[in-house]
Structure 1
Amino acid sequence: MSVIADTIVRTVELGVTITDAALDGDTTVVFCDLVDRGPQRCPGCGGVGVYRDTVERRATDIPVAGHPLLLRVRVRRYRCVSSTCERVVFSADSSRLARAGATTTRRCARFVLRRLVLDRTTIAAVARELGRSWDTVNAIAVAAIGDLLAASGPARLDGVRVIGVDEHRWAHTRHAEGDGFVTVIVDLTPVVDGVGPARLLDLVAGRSAAAMTDWLTAQTPQFRRQVEVVAMDGFGGYETAATSAVPDAVTVMDPFHVVALAGAKLDACRQRVQQDTTGHRGRTGDPLYRSRRTLRTRLQLLTTRQRARLEAVFADYAHTPVEVTWMIYQQIITAYAHPNPGEGKTLLANVIDTIRAAVPAGLNKLTTLGRTLQRRRRDVLAYFTHRASNGPTEAINGRLEALRRNALGFRNLINYRIRSLLHCGALAL
């Protein structure tokens, strides 16, 4: 029966064998003995010890049949007979069972990581499964991720040539570290090379040039030399950080944010014309308001009905500013969608030149867009050469949002960083 029980619970890998079992409420209690490994030698002098007594060590193990499992292991203690040794009493080696002083087995940490990473389970749920407190399970996760990061070491950053940077709000409470924001740093190299998904490299408190600069300067010179491309949104602080800390890298403004910026200017222009022509904000029956979503739709995706609606809107001379801004918006989308990167780059460069030099009076939003694109011209056009998009960074940002909602929020940035690396850091479990 002992062999069957050892096989079912797989206690052999812990270096113990089952001798008895009992129930304690919802917890299954299993009594074990350490597997006999021959004469026990003193860790101080190496001499063979003499049996002294037996003590019991308790350790929480992975659940069995949906119930918490507690191992009560009999551990022999020995007396060192050497008169020159400082050790008087030592215990039999139970390192396979658990770490020194730990109250959970070694495989319990692997179980916690798998539940958190693969099953997207909360700390509270894992704590209920193990029959332990939230703090205990969280401490196990913190120690485990520390071991994973230490095991990977600097090699974790080897081969990182393309990184993505974005801001992320991790807390909505007052006085949160970094004002509740962090800078998300992502490895985009696998995506650019077409060999795998992006992975989270780190989270840094704050959303400023200083936060990004501090992280880059904290890395090794070798890492900074190997970074070739930094993809980002329109925030100028990240561009400043990249050009100062990794001056040889190319900064790329993400296409999504360029199109989103142009779309925001289109919305602002529509709202201004709506106010000027009707004297009120958009209402259900107003032509401009009814077309607000159609105006943001890519030209090639418009239905016949939507095209007819836009034609009716643009037939009104008072709506000409909206039509002009809409045409620029569509031209930007067309440039990014062009199958030939060289042709697309030329098209977008022409758009930037046009709205910088030939914008009619009264199109203030379009003028502002032109100034922004001209200021970031090099970053905007660099996409067509390096094809580095910040889309995977936004995807990881979304996964972090889901993690935060699943955990019902975080109050400690250290815990949030650790959980984020577990979920999105592609660490080898």
Structure 2
Amino acid sequence: MVTTRTQRWILQRIVVDKMSVAAVAANLGIAWRTVNTIATEAARTLVYNGDHLDGVRCLGVDEHKWKHVRGQGDPSFVTVLIDLTPVIDGTGPARLLDMIGGRSKHVLKQWMAARDQRFRDRIKVVAMDGFTGYKSATTEELPDARVVMDPFHVVHLAASKLDQCRQRIQQQVCGHRGRKDDPLYKIRRILHTRTELLTDKQKIRLFESLTSHDDHVAVEITHQIYQQLIAAYEHPQRREGKKLMYKVLHRIRTGLPTGLQELAQLGRSLWNRRADILAYFDTGVSNGPVEAINGRLEHLRGIAQGFRNLDHYILRSLLHSGQLAERVNAL
């Protein structure tokens, strides 16, 4: 049994100073297990018995791999829920709301269904990646919320199709995987760089590699579409960017020549989610802050040298990235 003052001190060191449980335990001269129990029980009270979910209008959903060891019973992935409202309002950074074991339509739908109607009515925008399970759960539980497919994941999907196209043409032309002197292998990184950011030397290398063989035209066309997607997102006026994006999606949705199978797959996938992709230009909501918090959670796991208990990991993550400092100081 510890005093309220000691409990507050422990939480302040973990939440405010980002200290590990081991460091806090060493400072107090008590066992790691004791400090961890105090922290997790206090976190549960702060997060689940208070007003942690109040004021949330914009929600970010993503997956996070919390352990890299198979077995041990718990799922390796969790679904992460982030409050993006402060970012949209310009009042502060995003904050971690909750984490759920697993990544599926069922786990997200179950979490949303467990929230009160007031919370669900307040959610206006939900940003996510291309996983259809998250979209289905959101559509069913939050029918009035607008789904936004995050720009990062749209561009990432296009980049993966560009790589697949390059690798296929590489095998077709050279009969082997890329080697350092192969034209397409030499530009594998340049292909992912915005044209405006390339040096003159890189532009020359790109042009020479893409025109060195007739079959390279498939890579060239896929690369052009990839650059056009980025240009639409980067347009200074969202309304014009939305028009550019729609034109690109419409152009590649169907009827492409043979030899552009990766681009055809990309076109079908993006066209099916066109409403969610175009919604970004109306709302300005993206999952960028979610990816940032995922990076912080990776750092947390590294400090702890790996977690084995999912409940402890979730509660410690909420303490670490849940913007709870003011509430801890008020204890």
TM-score, normalised relative to structure 1: 0.74
Aligned to 2:234: 337
Aligned to 2:23: 125
Task: Write the distance in 2 (CA, Å) between the matches of 1:176 and 1:386.
Answer: 41
Cα contact 1:122–1:407 (8 A) shared by 2: yes
Structure 1 position 301 matched with structure 2 position 197 = yes
Of 167, 183, 201, the match for 2:97: 201
Aligned to 1:69: none
Task: Write the distance in 2 (CA, Å) between the matches of 1:311 and 1:146.
Answer: 58
Residue 165 of structure 1 aligns to a residue whose secondary structure is: strand
Structure 1 position 216 matched with structure 2 position 112 = yes
Which runs of structure 2 are paired with 1:63-142 in the superposition (5 Å)? 102=1, 104-142=2-40
Which runs of structure 2 are paired with 1:9-408 in the superposition (5 Å)? 102=1, 104-149=2-47, 153=50, 155-316=51-212, 317-408=214-305
Residue 156 of structure 1 aligns to a residue whose secondary structure is: coil
Cα contact 1:233–1:253 (8 A) shared by 2: yes
Structure 1, unmatched stretches of 5+, are 1-101
Partner deviation per Cα, 1:256-293 (whole Å, 9 max, x = no partner):
00001001100110011111000110001111101001
Cα contact 1:178–1:207 (8 A) shared by 2: no
Residue 59 of structure 2 aligns to a residue whose secondary structure is: strand
Q: Report the Cα offset of residue 348 of structure 1.
A: 0.7
The 1:244–1:176 alpha-carbon spacing in structure 2 relative to 1, beyond 3 Å, is: farther
Amino acid at match of 2:268: R
Task: Write the distance in 2 (CA, Å) between the matches of 1:367 and 1:175.
Answer: 38
Partner deviation per Cα, 1:287-336 (whole Å, 9 max, x = no partner):
11010011110011111001101110122322100000000000000000
Task: Write the distance in 2 (CA, Å) between the matches of 1:140 and 1:192.
Answer: 34
Cα contact 2:61–2:127 (8 A) shared by 1: yes
The 1:178–1:349 alpha-carbon spacing in structure 2 relative to 1, beyond 3 Å, is: farther
What is the aligned length?
A: 325
Aligned to 2:317: 420
Amino acid at match of 2:193: T
Q: Report the Cα offset of residue 128 of structure 1.
A: 1.4
Rg bigger for which structure? 1
**Larger fraction in helix:** 2
Partner deviation per Cα, 1:194-246 (whole Å, 9 max, x = no partner):
11100000000100011100110000001000100000011111001100000
Q: Report the Cα offset of residue 176 of structure 1.
A: 4.1
Amino acid at match of 1:212: L
Task: Write the distance in 1 (CA, Å) between the matches of 2:256 and 2:90.
Answer: 40
**Larger fraction in strand:** 1
Residue 328 of structure 1 aligns to a residue whose secondary structure is: helix
RMSD across aligned positions (CA): 1.2
Q: Report the Cα offset of residue 125 of structure 1.
A: 1.7
Structure 2, unmatched stretches of 5+, are none
Amino acid at match of 2:101: A
List structure 1 runs of 4+ shifted beyond 4 angstroms.
Answer: none
TM-score, normalised relative to structure 2: 0.96
Residue 75 of structure 2 aligns to a residue whose secondary structure is: helix
Percent of aligned pairs with the same amino acid: 54
Deviates more, 1:379-388 or 1:116-125: 116-125
Higher relative contact order (CA 8 A, sep 6+): 2
